[in-house]
Amino acid sequence: MPKRRLEHGSVEAEVPAAGLISLTDVMGSLVKVFVLTIPFIVESGIFISRSMAAKLNRPIQQKQVKTDVKVSIHMRADGIIELNKKPVTQEQLEDLVPKLLARSIEKNALLSADPEVVYENVVQMIDFLKSKGAGDVLIMKRGG
């Protein structure tokens, strides 16, 4: 039925319809783009250790926690990152963490930070550790 109408229709009448169809396509595309970008808008979560966070008020020595832990990171307020109590650069960290995690059975990592460290930086470190294969990131207060 619509085809027959088009055959008899004038050129003037077809122009606005074609424009509106393009508009429909554009709106359809926008909705599709929006649906595809939902994962980047909606909040998700990264797990932190279930076992260690309860003990946050009590400083714990690394040896007391897990002997299998090969990666212990401390983030200092001045921006310096310590890996197993030695200051390292970002490049060294990226190189060493996967190697150390490979030596561990449970692949857990300890993470502590000075109180003044910005939360975003801590999350980035957790993200980094997980992306390098850490099974569980144990959040803890640094022992003396």
Partner 1 sequence: MAKAKGGEGEVAQAVFNLANIFAFIFITLIIASKQMFQSTSVEVEVPKARVIEADLEQSLAVSIKKDKTVYLKDKQVSLQELVQLIKSAQEEYKAKNPDAELGEQLVVIRADKSVDWQTVLNTIDAVKRGGSKRITLAVVKKT
* Chain contacts with partner 1 (rule: CB under 8 A): 2, 5-6, 8-10, 13-14, 16-17, 20-21, 23-24, 27-28, 30-31, 34, 38-48, 50, 53-54, 56-57, 75, 113-120, 122-124, 126-127, 130-131, 139, 141
> What is the β-pairing status of strands 81-83 and 86-88?
antiparallel
Whichever of 102 and 118 has its CB closer to partner 1, that residue is: 118
Question: Looking at beta carbons only, is 3 or 86 nearer to partner 1?
Answer: 3
95 vs 127, which CB is nearer to partner 1? 127
Give the angle subtended at the CA of 143 by the CAs of 137 and 144, to the nearest 5°: 155
Report the distance separating Cα 67 and Cα 48, nearest Å.
Answer: 19
Half-sphere exposure of 38 (CA within 13 A, CB side): 6
Q: How far is the CB of 86 from partner 1 (least distance, A)?
A: 21
* 3 state SS of 112: strand
Q: Please compute, for residue 82, the number of CA atoms within 13 A of its CA located in the half-sphere on the CB side.
A: 15
25 versus 67: smaller Cβ distance to partner 1:
25
Q: How far apart are CA 117 and CA 113, in angstroms?
A: 6
How far apart are CB 100 and partner 1 at their closest, in Å?
A: 18
Q: Smallest distance from the beta carbon of 91 to partner 1, in angstroms?
A: 19
